[in-house]
Structure 1
Amino acid sequence: MNIQHPSRKAVIASAAVAAMTVTGIAGTAVASSFRDVTLEVDGVSIPVSGFMGNVSDVLATAGVEVSSHDLVAPSLHERVSNGQTILVRRAQQYMVDIDGVSTPTWSTATDIDDLLGQVGTKGAIIAADRSTSRAELPALTVSGPIRVVADGQTHTVDARQGASASDLLSQAGVDVSFLDRVVFTSDEQGSFLRVIRVQRGVEEREETLTKEVEEQEDSTLAKGTRKVAQEGSDGSIKRSVYVERRDGQEIVSQVVSENRTEPVKQIVKIGTKETTTASSSSAASSSSGSSATVTGNDVWAALARCESGGNPATNTGNGYYGLYQFSASTWRAMGGTGLPSEASAAEQTQRAQALQARSGWGQWPACARSLGLL
């Protein structure tokens, strides 16, 4: 049997010729006469004989049912003549993706280029495999070049007539996994085959919950001092997330599990004590014969006068140095280098304030007590 695969244009042209022939011989006697015709269904020819007046009679005699989507030429109500060929092209349903929306489309197209042309929308996507399409159409009904786009590269291959998507991928040397999507689409240059890489899996993601810092006034601390009463810590949310990406773009994101650790508030005491009186044990007070008044930042000047007489270079040989009589080990623990007495007064005060914030006024028990800080 000789099986032909005419294009849609050829089918329509044949239908026009057949219609003219029927018109020439129409009549009551002819309509009731016995006829031998050929019925070609999707390229397969079937001889049909019987008393048949029109195309609908031919299909009924042959037991061929057609839907409203199928192409029949001549049309169902056209008269037929002896020896005539009736063409039937069954329509197939395809899922066409346009702007992310899948729409069922019926077509009698004979290749992908024809099908995309009927859709009439640039960028429309048609699956190139049987998993999402009722029929695997060839890329071309004639030999010619066609593009294969994958991984950001375009391969142009010489496709033979009737080549499928698998043939084109093989010619282009492009491997695909069972997850990857292979689709036909089109642009200004025409139809092409596109490979969309798909990755799926579970990812671990962590979100930081920043701790809250609360400041509380404390009248027992000298004004201008800060003390951490409760160490805080950041919290977190750890999630296991199922993710699907297509060509690197995240399409699906679904939380599988979540573990939450709440943050711990940090509490800082802020000194509000306005004034205090230095005892007569202060070197400066003793020399003047009067008590010293400490206000705000003057507390550090008063403490320095009490500890070292206010001399930043003090080195009495007793293992304590500078304005605030740091030991060498404590000085290094606070980030200092060399000896405290070799550092500037500003650096000594800075490190003394840091030590007080961490450990309190008890680092200078005698002078702090005399100044009313303890």
Structure 2
Amino acid sequence: MSEEAPTQAQSAQSFWAPHTGVAVAERQTSAWTAVRPDLDWDWDWEAELEATRQFVPGGAYVSTQDVMDVLGPDAQDILNSVNMELDQLLELMNAKTTVLPIIRDDAGPLTEGLAQCWEELEEGLEDANLVPEPQRKAVVKTEQDTRSPWKRRFIKAAVMATLVSLAGGGATALAMDKAVTVDVDGHEMTVHTYSGTVGDVLAKQGLSAGAHDSLMPSASSSIADGGKIVLQRGRTMTVSVDGVAKTQWVKSLTVADALREMGVKTDNAKLSVDPSKQIPLSGMSMDVRTAKTVTISDGGNAPKQLTTYAVTIQELLKSLNITLGADDNVAPAADTKLASGAQITVSRNGVTVVQENQDIQPTTQIVNDPTLDEGVTQVMDPGVVGKQTVTYRVTMHNGKQADKQQIGVQVITPMKPKIVKNGTKPLPGDEIWDRIAKCESSNNWHANTGNGYYGGLQFDIPTWTSNGGGQYAPRADLATREQQIAIANRVRAARGLQPWQCAQILGLT
């Protein structure tokens, strides 16, 4: 019974097995042995090729010119026939995990051409310049301008093998091609790649993980078909909370999530940016203002409690449209930062200049008259009230007058003094008053017995003050004998001696 040829899927799963970045053949006689039965298939030729890459002058990796040299002028037509771009072919051939396909014996003319390439490949491996240490026997030539004919044969064989596989003639078609999901900041996309590591896949998409980014798996991790790569890119977030700025790298995409990541509390706070807004990759700056309950007193007005998002007292006053005059002040100072429970007091200290129209009361001019009895006065001219304008500087504190100072006077109409005649004619002797005093108070001119009458002549307060005694003392007992006699003479001139009972007893009336 003849052996059935392996399917493409079976070849991909079992014929090649990865080993240190190179596919190692599980030796089967149904494929390559049919093409080259004369070769020793127990020889690990792929490992040899991988090792040989390290010793080929200029490297054994395939360049654009290498492929163009092999395919010739029909290169683009050949690539179009297998639906592949040149850069894809280069990536596939240069990847360290590239699996060269098995060429089945029914692959047609391409297989025959490839068999011939393998003869050249076998001959090239006998080149002492390509044999790895320590088996190398000849001196290795490493001149930079030397281009090994083996490298061209290797490239020709690899290109032909790859094209046969892409055309459907190989048992394994593009085992390197993987569908990988790349998640960048929550946005997923599926890419097809020949790259073997996470870092290579990202690089093909123009991406890389920076120092503040999060990448899973790591850049050096290998990636398989159906794998997923998650890249969260960091963003700088500067948040000023009541004037205190904090800058931090965040992985969050929205403002709300970033504030939570930074540990910024936003309960009852006012944000300068919508919490749902996306943070650009270049970063963002924003303000957070917390709510504060404060009490403010403005001038003489009653204290008022309110809630504010202002940072300083100055901002609070501005938000309330409260302005300070040149002489006003606020406590604490306007640049003080606010906190809940703060007490703010605005003092209104205005200084104004005012003018008042006032009367000028007549002064009294005394003219002594020796023809009048002592103690007797007569008004000769009542005088005339004058007019004047008086200027004051007035200081106000919280709506109340705190100080008033006169700074100028302008007389409009002068006043005319009052003229009074004062009698200076001696009375018939002061001995009359000594006799009355002896009867009234036993000649005690400072008598104050508590009976409502005072002094030597026992004046009551109304009689004393109404006759001018206040100019000497508030009560008669506090005045001198002479002063008391002077007031008694005034009373005598107006009423005689009738007010004194002792005068009647003494028979002086």
TM over 0.5: no
Name whichever structure is richer in strand by fraction.
Answer: 1
TM-score computed with the length of structure 1 as normaliser: 0.36
TM-score, scaled relative to structure 2: 0.28
Higher relative contact order (CA 8 A, sep 6+): 1
